[in-house]
Amino acid sequence: MGDVPARVVLRDVGPRDGLQNEPPVPTAAKVELIEALGGTGITEIEAVSWVHPRAIPQMADAAEVWSAVRPRETVRYSSLVPNVVGAQRALAAGFTDLEVVVSASRTHNLRNLNRTPEESLDAIAEVIELAHTAGARCQVIVATAFGCPYEGEIEETDVVGYALRALADGADSLCFGDTTGMGSPPRVRRVVGAVRDRAPEAEVALHLHDTRGTGMANLVAGLEVGVDHFDASVGGLGGCPYAPGASGNIATEEAVYLLHELGVETGVDLDHLLDVAATAERIVGRELPSRLIKAGPRTRLAAL
Ligand code: ZN
């Protein structure tokens, strides 16, 4: 390993992205998961989203969840907003970190949001302005950045073009989402490298999925091009919405395990996080895809 960041920030997206792709769970279970994650040393948690309950019933209780959570000083909590109305709700609830999504795939954006990417970016500019007026930060997530379930290949020029437009509109950070796990190390290097060439100062994060087994390889590829913010979900919560039974988000504990092996600090207590992964399994009532839940860390030795 050459010149990789000495420390990375992991954002656990289990409570939002994870639970959104699982059968609905009670409000109290969401609160329990958010609070438990906050005790592991993790410094960023994607807590809820403010989407319409008809679109995503799993997140219909966002306001109840957030009002019940006792926030920690050490954690930044973010919420995903679909539009200006969602942003107003998130800001009114006290969030200081918002996320908005545009898909680099025209078809994916039209099917999910009923808008072209350009129309989404127009609305995102309004959300960014609203966030800044309220003293909040806004991250723009470019989804399907490494491939699309409908279109297959996505032009890098599109991915980079949408990202640069978001930066020009004031985005505080960019996140490239591997929505269906179609990323690979060369693709990660190309997209991140192209953005770095055009906007060297931009804060860049990666939202990786392990749908095709490349999640950890992509994380290392990201590290090697200087990325120091990664999304992951405890236990690997949340499947792939386009491939029933397939895994989605990379598991936070697997990311922590690998990063520590590489000598990269995360600030996360792995044993504690594994306890929370067990809690996550109990909450959804099924085995989660994380292999570290099953195998344990290196310190867990077999009985002689
Ligand atoms: Zn995800």
Distance 301 CA to ligand 1 centre (A): 32
Distance 206 CA to ligand 1 centre (A): 10
DSSP code of 152? Answer: B
Q: Cα–Cα distances in Å, from 203 out to 72, 130, 240, 285?
A: 24, 20, 26, 37
**Model pLDDT for residues 130-188, shown as the tens digit of each residue:** 999 999 999 999 999 999 999 999 999 999 999 999 999 999 999 999 999 999 999 99
**pLDDT at site 235:** 98
By residue count, the chain amounts to 304
Residues tagged active-site: 240
Section 255-260 average pLDDT? 98
The contacts of residue 294 (CB under 8 Å, 6+ apart) are none
pLDDT band with cut points at 50, 70 and 90 for residue 240 = confident
Instruction: Give me the chain's average pLDDT, please.
Output: 95
**pLDDT at site 56:** 87
What share of residues in the chain are helix, strand, coil (percent, to 5)?
45, 15, 40
% of the chain residues with pLDDT over 70 = 99
Query: What structural domains and CATH numbers belong to the chain?
Result: 9-289 (3.20.20.70)
% of the chain residues with pLDDT over 90 = 88
Section 188-202 average pLDDT? 96
Token code pair at residue 256: 């922590």
Distance 3 CA to ligand 1 centre (A): 27
**pLDDT at site 205:** 98
Cα separation, 291 vs 261, in Å, equals 16
**pLDDT at site 300:** 85
pLDDT band with cut points at 50, 70 and 90 for residue 239 = confident
Q: Which of 186, 241, 172 minimizes the C-alpha distance to 209?
A: 241
**pLDDT at site 302:** 84
Cα separation, 283 vs 61, in Å, equals 16
**pLDDT at site 232:** 98
**pLDDT at site 52:** 86
Distance 16 CA to ligand 1 centre (A): 9
**Model pLDDT for residues 265-276, shown as the tens digit of each residue:** 999 999 999 999
Distance 86 CA to ligand 1 centre (A): 20
3-state SS class at 296: coil
**pLDDT at site 1:** 56
pLDDT at 194 over 60: yes
Distance 303 CA to ligand 1 centre (A): 37
**Model pLDDT for residues 87-137, shown as the tens digit of each residue:** 999 999 999 999 999 999 999 999 988 999 999 999 999 999 999 999 999
Distance 14 CA to ligand 1 centre (A): 9
Strand 204-207 versus strand 137-143 pairing type: unpaired
Section 214-242 average pLDDT? 95
**pLDDT at site 2:** 61
